[in-house]
Structure 1
Amino acid sequence: MRGTAVVVGGGIGGLAAALGLRRVGWDVTVLERSEVPDDAGAAISLAANGLRALDELGAGEAVRAASHGQYRGGTRRPDGRWLARMDGAALERAVGSPIVGIARAELHRLLRAALPAESLLIGVRALTIDQDRPGQNEPAQDGPGQNGPGQNEPAQDGPGQVRVGCSDGTRYADLVVAADGVGSRLRGLLLPEHPGAVATGAAVLRAITDQPVALDGEFELTWGRGAEFGHIVLPDGRAEWHAVLPLPPGTRFADPLAELRSRFGGWHEPIPELLAATPPDAVLHHDLRELRTPLPTFTVGRVALLGDAAHAMTPHLGQGACQALEDAVTLAAAVAGAPDLPSALSRYDAVRRPRAQAVARAARQAGRMGPGLSHPLAVAVRNTAMPLMPPGPTLRAILRHHVWEPPTLDRTPPRPGESATQLA
């Protein structure tokens, strides 16, 4: 089955969805509301399941080349004593890949580069969505947003097409992918009874150092009372660090770096060194939100919700982007293998919703039992118990989320006028 798709959202999930759908022969237009692509987020870790998804999308080799493997590290106390060690080599032997770190801007660039430039429309917002009125006989939007073979041909808007009202006109598609993030506008339109994303009561501040930093390992987390500081190493020797703090939503600091020095300056090295290697204007501050109430469905009519729009989760397992990548591959495989779109979307929902929501629950629980603990007695029990845990169960707990076999995306022949490398 082939058709036309509009993907709302040009983040990791939306770009991945576009790659997957194009790989199985669909015409895809991506709408990104930002005038400048938003690559905020400093850096990201990708586990084996995310890398396997990228392999199916044709971007795995490029992403691996731009990443740095996380082989040595673990979790510490603020005084530097180890709570748990991470053996990246053992993880690689078990699942075929270590966790890798990559700058988010570089990951976005690689995903965008794999798409034809004309398929990504910047500065275009999706405002409305109409599945009840197919708009028969209405002319399609002329110009670069046109779906289908001709700029001035009427939309093929039979009873199954969706009409998307955009900031620059109207577009029609057989399938719409809502990949517009944790605050998804489309999710609110499609599922108005759902409470939407809620604040977790924490915020994350993060940055990339402006120079290489000499570090003993590639990955560390440090858990204090209700707070976390972590870092990963990037291929050029710079480090991305993040600090998670319990903060009311909307809290902002006049000097974020000074605030972090006051809170973490007494923690073990290299934390003070990482802060010292960071320019004050490089610090990003985001309130953390999640879909605490699971969605009843990941599909509504001919719309599929994907990534944070479908299952925004806390960051404590590092699985948010990986689950979005799984979504993208699963959706593409479903539409490629089903006789019609309703069957494909039913398959996508049945496969993705149980797994993604289970990972979201596990991430929430990991946060509560790890850096979310603030009572001194609870922290003392955690700090005593963690070093006594044998490595086997710890590794199996990680593997539970990293093990995933993607469906195979059979590449379709290039369309007329299209080079084979655009689908590679």
Structure 2
Amino acid sequence: MTRNPRKAAVVGGGIGGLATAVLLRDGGWSVDVFERSPALPETGTALGMWPSALKALDALGVGERVRAVGRAQSAGAFLRPDGSRIATIDVTALRRRTGDVVHLLSRPDLLSLLYGALGEGVVRFGERVADLGALEGSYEVVVGADGLNSAARTALFGSAHRAVHAGATSWRGTVDGDIGSVTETWGDGLRFGITPTSGGRTNWFACAVLPEGAYFPGGEAAWLRGRFGHWHAGVRQVVEKVTEPEVLRLDLYHLDPPLPSYVKGRTALIGDAAHAMTPDLGRGACEALIDGVVLARALLAAPDVPTALRAYDRRRRPVTQRLARTSRLMNRMAHARRLTGLRDAAMRAALTLSGPPA
């Protein structure tokens, strides 16, 4: 007699949600992904896939495609506004330590690869889940992968655990031209990042210490040129190309206080829903991928759902909450307005002694 497949509901069709669905479906589960957006995004900024995330992508069967589509990071540095060097990211040492380097690709490219591995008919676009409890009645497990302002998180743990403004805001975009290697420039309460991406284009971001909602409608590009237009040549080359319609302005948030658990009942939270962090380590997408793979593997291996969810929480909560704390600390360091020399020395020592988390 053929046994009916086990059923999982995934709330959110982003990176973590799709990763979970791919591995569960490959393992014989029936999976429905509920995504409130009408379709996959066509635009988005560059993501850095660190070696640990690439291993997760290998488990999903798309690692080699990501390496082919993406761009291997060949060098990286932290700079001062005059172009002098704070510290170097030792890409060669990272390869020796892990066997791989960071690969850069756009969010739409990554989502497209994951969606292709999942196949048609699994993702229900344009469907917002209003009642998490109703899903638990129809599925053996529910995965909350609904991002920063997660409704699933609120349903499980209440509004006390929410996304809190980090005291800074960001701007992001892409310009034509290949500026070169990855750099992040730190000034007094300001910073500017440059990341080459596919198609001979360059992804950029800027951050500043500003109150929540302090936007400049119609004047974001001009504000950026006023603050960064006198920095070193690499930053100027990008800022001069920025046009108003291409600027994406987002305040920065993190989850505070941290969750006491990533699971409750037969529901598990992954990605930003579980551990939203500031983007300072560039690990948000990576950790969502790893969450999805670890959770799916636990569900495939454990004798029952509660055992699997406990194993997932035990493995992923300590490491991701530690990364979230480190990212928040780096956010404060990067936006320091005093003792910047001491800050720069601390960053240089940290990279020299241990290197970035892989």
**What TM-score range do you get, normalising by the shorter chain?**
over 0.9
Q: What is the TM-score of this pair, normalised by structure 1?
A: 0.80
Q: Is the 8 A contact 1:41 1:206 kept in 2?
A: no
Aligned position for 1:228: 191
Question: 1-side partners of 2:46 and 2:233: how far apart?
Answer: 21
Deviates more, 1:30-39 or 1:194-203: 30-39
| Cα distance, 1:392 vs structure 2 | 4.1
CA change 1:112–1:386 in 2 (3 A) is: closer
Deviations 1:20-41 (A, max 9, x none): 2112221111111012334654
The counterpart of 1:382, out of the listed 340, 343, 350, is 343
1:88-118 CA-partner distances (Å, limit 9, x unpaired) = 1221121111112111111111111111211
Give yes or no for contact 1:41–1:284 (8 Å, CA) kept in 2.
Answer: no
Identical-residue share of aligned pairs (%): 40
Alpha-carbon distance in structure 2 between the residues aligned to 1:309 and 1:87: 32
Please state how far the C-alpha of 1:390 moved relative to its aligned partner.
8.6
The superposition leaves residues 348-367 of structure 1 with CA deviations (integer Å, 9 ceiling, x where unpaired) of 11111111111111111122
Q: Tell me, what secondary structure is at the counterpart of 2:233?
A: coil
Q: How many residues align?
A: 354
Cα-Cα RMSD: 1.8
Letter in 2 for 1:347: A
Task: Say yes or no: does 1:162 pair with 2:127.
Answer: no
- In structure 2, give the amino acid aligned to 1:96: G
Partner of 1:71: 74
Counterpart Cα distance in 2 of 1:102 and 1:277: 21
Query: Does 2:91 correspond to 1:88?
Result: yes
Aligned to 1:406: none
Q: How far apart, in 2, do the equivalents of 1:52 and 1:13 lie?
A: 14
Q: CA deviation at 1:385?
A: 5.6
- 1:111-145 per-residue CA deviation (whole Å, 9 max, x = no partner) reads 111112110111100001227xxxxxxxxxxxxxx
Shift of 1:252: 1.9
Q: Are residue 212 (structure 1) and residue 177 (structure 2) matched?
A: yes
Q: Secondary structure at the match of 2:261?
A: coil
1:55 is paired with a residue whose SS is helix
Match of 1:373 in 2: 336
More displaced stretch, 305-314 vs 230-239: 230-239
Residue number in structure 1 paired with 2:261? 297
Aligned AA for 1:308?
A: D
Structure 1: how far apart are the matches of 2:88 and 2:346? 14
Q: Does 1:313 align with 2:287?
A: no
Q: Deviations along 1:245-287, whole A, 9 cap, x unmatched?
A: 1122222222211111011001101111112233321111111
Contact residue 76 and residue 221 of structure 1 kept, 8 A: yes
Tell me the TM-score normalized by structure 2.
0.94
SS of the aligned residue for 2:97 comes to: helix
Once residues 298 and 236 of structure 1 are traced to their aligned partners in structure 2, the CA distance between those partners, rounded to angstroms, is: 38
Matches within 5 A, 1:16-27: 16-27=19-30
Structure 2 alignment gaps of length 5 or more: none
After superposition, give the CA deviation of every residue in 1:148-196 in whole Å (9 maximum; x if it has no partner): xxxxxxxxxxxxx714xxxxxxxx2111100000100111011115331
Cα separation, partners in 2 of 1:391 and 1:228, compared to 1, 3 Å: closer
Q: Structure 1 residues 39 and 349, CA, compared in 2 at 3 Å: closer, same or farther?
A: farther
Report what 2:213 is aligned to. 250
Offset of residue 73 of structure 1: 2.2
Q: Which moved more, 1:56-65 or 1:192-201?
A: 192-201
Residue 316 of structure 2 aligns with which residue?
A: 352
8 Å contact from structure 2 (residues 10, 144) kept in 1: yes
Query: Runs of 5+ in structure 1 lacking a partner?
Result: 132-160, 164-171, 403-424
Partner SS state of residue 130, structure 1: helix
Residue 57 of structure 1: aligned partner = 60
**How far apart in 1 are the matches of 2:162 and 2:262?**
13
